Structures are given as structure tokens and as C-alpha cells.
Amino acid sequence: MTPLPGLDPSLPPSSPSPHQPRPPHSSSLVTTLALLVLAFAFCLLGALCFIFGAPSPIGVIALSLAGGFLVSALLTYMRSFLKPLPEKPCIPQLHPQAKPREEAIPPPKMSPTKIPPQKIPIICPRSWTLDTVAEKLKSLFDLPSPSSEIPDKKVMFSLKGKCFPQFILNCFEGHPFDQPLPTSTRGAFVVQVNSCMSYDNNIGRTLAILTRVDKSCWETICKQVPLIQGVRTLRHGQSICGEWEQKDKKVHSPATHLILVYPPTLSSLLSLEQTRVLKEKALTLANINKAQAFCALVKTYTNIFETCKNNGIEHLQIDLFGTKDLYSGQEDYDTWQCGCQLAFLESLRHLFIQGQETPLLSITLQSYQEVPLLQGARKAFPKD
């Protein structure tokens, strides 16, 4: 049985409590009777002395001794035979006292829920086709106006967000500086770099943009990456941002910020064994996990969008990642191109569902070879 609260379970039930009196013994009974006999004898002696005219001191002494023996007998009797009443054990209440009723406090007003980007699940389409790209575009965007259309031959087109009409997606073919960003607000150009972030030996879009960027600006941005054994190295999918410093001070800067990114590639997803086996063979989609490659691209874009949010950037120019991982003559080339476009559109879906407002007002997709997303946009918004 569980002992009641406040009682010591270490004491066995048969052991007497420290507060209980000792049990009476036979010697106590004999002592009491002897004292009573002596008291009666001296009392009788004192009475006889007074009756028969004996000297008075003898009678007084006899009566005094009789009283002393009587008191001793009474004390012995009380100590040995009379038990004190046991104290009532104080057993605490086993049920908690009812708490006083508290006044209801209204819940605080919560701001609109914003979902962190890392908690939004990435949806990888089963098929990577132009039809899937068109469906994705149709679910996220509308034409800028009812009279707008996407003609067959055009170097640029624009779409507005379906949930956020203030957001504009621009897609164009040409040099990165052919379509300038709004100069009244904060804008950024994104350049793809290698892991060591070399300022020299760049090609394509990165080289074109760096013709306007001062090297000291580049070095300042790269210093955000910590030194590890004397080397600064970007991880796949990592991006860093810094303020743009124009090389020619007399020319207005095309943006306020520059973002460096080391995007993932198909080859970066291979294991060491796969890399060894494919050393002299062409890489195809059959060699990699398509969902893993798709998610890696989406996370790279969302990291850049988060960087823009943290730096107050409202306008962004970027190019599609991964489009050069396969050659145009390969069997899976068109499938992979659609996959790269779908990854970008999936990252925009993440951007739109994070809160009531998107931190970016516009994103401009640039390419040297063709207008990005043009074929999918034609399917999504055909001419009447």
C-alpha cells in the first residue's frame, strides 16, 4: 500500500511511535504498593501519637513522611499506568484546493502568418514538359492586361502575378544591361561563380556584368565567406550579397547590389563512384536523381530571394540555373530545360505563399540565346 503523505514509510507498523509511553512493568506495581503501605503506616503512627499524647514532633514527622510516601505512590502510578491520549495525526488533504476563478484574457492579435521558406514543401512535377511549364505559368501569372498577348517573334515579354498583381516577371533575350533595373529603388544583379569566387577567368553573363564592377567591391563581398585553411569557398547553392561599386565612377551604377551564387550542377549530385564510372562518358538524366536535382535548384533560388529580403532588394535580374549542364544534342536536353524552368517557377510559388506581401516587386530573366520561358508562355496564353 502507498503510505499516506506525511507518514514515514520507514517505520514498521509494529514498532512503537516515539510519542507513545513505555508499557508498565511489574516492578512499578510493587513500588507503588510499597509506597502506599509506608504512607498508611506513618499516617497511622502520627494519628496514634496525637491520640495517646506522645511528643508532638514525632507525630508531625510521621505525618510528613506519610504525605511524602503518598505523593511518591501517586506519581509512580501516573507515570506507569496512565497513558496520554494519542495525538490526532494531521493527514493533509489528498485533493487540491479549487483555484480561484481567473478572468479570461483575450488572445493577442496575431499578424498574418508568414511561412519560413525552409518549411514549405517542394513539389516536383512528375513530367518535365512544355505543357507542365505552361500549367505552372498559368497558375502563377496573368497577362499584364486583357489586350496583351505574346507574339511569335519577340525579344521580351512580361507577366504579372496572379495573387500579387504588383509583382512583374520580365523575360528577355540580350545583354544583361539591355534591360536596366529601376534606379529609384534597390536592385541587384545575380552572377554565377565557381566555388573559389575568382574575379578573373569568367565567361558569359558573369564576365559581361563584371566589366562594370570594381574589383575591390568583389573582394569585399567575398570576405563574407570565412577562411578555412586559408581559402574562401562557396558551397553549392550558397549565395552572398554586397553593395555594388561601379568601376567607372562617372557612369551610373546599373544596380545597388551584386549577388554571387554557386549554383548546383548535375555533376555535383554524383557520388564518387558515379564520377569514376562516368569519367569518359556523357552525363544524362538517367545517372542522377531527378527529384534531388530539382530540389537543389529550387533551394538555390529561394536562398537568393531570402538574401534579397534581408537586404531590402525589390528588383532582381537573374538567369536560369542548370541550363548548360547538358548539351543541346543529348536525348534528355529538352526535358532538362523544362526541369530548370519548372524549378524556377516552383521557387516563385514559394515566394508568393510566404506572406501577404512579396519582398520582390520584379524579377527579370535574361538569356543570350533565347527568351526564357517563351515557349511555355505561348502555350499558357495563346492568341485568340
Residue 257 has a pLDDT of 97
Alpha carbons 304 and 260: distance in angstroms, whole number:
9
Alpha carbons 62 and 41: distance in angstroms, whole number:
9
Residue 279 has a pLDDT of 78
First to last CA, the chain: 87
Q: What residues contact 344, with CB distance under 8 A and at least 6 apart? A: 297, 301, 320, 321, 365
Residue 365 has a pLDDT of 98
Alpha carbons 86 and 330: distance in angstroms, whole number:
100
Q: Residue 159 pairs with which residues in a beta bridge?
A: 169
- Nearest partner of 239 among 258, 216, 217, 214, judged by Cα: 258
Count Cα atoms within 13 angstroms, Cβ side, for 25.
4
Task: Tell me the longest C-alpha to C-alpha distance in the chain.
Answer: 159
Q: Residue 316 pairs with which residues in a beta bridge?
A: 188, 363
216 phi, psi to nearest 5 deg = -65, -35
C-alpha cell of residue 274: 558515379
The DSSP result for 148-208, as a single string, is: ----SS-SEEEEEESS-TT-EEEEEES-GGGSPPPTTS-EEEEEE--TT--SSS--HHHHH
Strand 227-228 and strand 231-232: the pairing is antiparallel
E-state strands within the chain: 141-142, 156-161, 168-173, 187-192, 227-228, 231-232, 239-243, 257-261, 315-318, 362-367
Instruction: Delimit the domains of the chain by residue range.
Output: 26-81, 118-380
Alpha carbons 309 and 358: distance in angstroms, whole number:
9
Residue 263 has a pLDDT of 96
Determine the distance from the C-alpha atom of residue 285 to the mean position of all C-alpha atoms in its chain, rounded to a whole number.
Answer: 35
C-alpha cell of residue 238: 550558397
Question: What is the full per-residue pLDDT of the chain (384 aa) written as tens digits?
Answer: 444 444 444 444 444 444 444 454 566 677 777 777 777 777 777 777 777 766 667 777 777 777 777 777 777 777 766 555 455 555 445 444 545 554 555 544 444 445 555 578 999 999 999 999 999 999 999 999 888 888 777 789 999 999 999 999 999 999 999 999 987 789 999 999 999 999 988 899 999 999 999 999 999 999 999 989 889 999 999 999 999 999 988 888 999 999 999 999 999 998 888 888 787 788 889 889 999 999 999 999 999 999 999 999 999 999 999 999 999 889 899 999 999 999 999 999 999 987 667 789 999 999 999 999 999 999 999 987
Amino acid letter for position 212? R
Alpha carbons 88 and 260: distance in angstroms, whole number:
82
DSSP letter (8 states) at residue 143: -
Domain 118-380 has CATH 3.40.50.300: no
C-alpha cell of residue 146: 486583357
Work out the angle at residue 307's Cα, subtended by the Cα atoms of residues 305 and 310, and round it to the nearest 5 degrees.
Answer: 115
List the helix and strand counts (H, then E) for the chain: 9, 10
Residue 313 has a pLDDT of 96
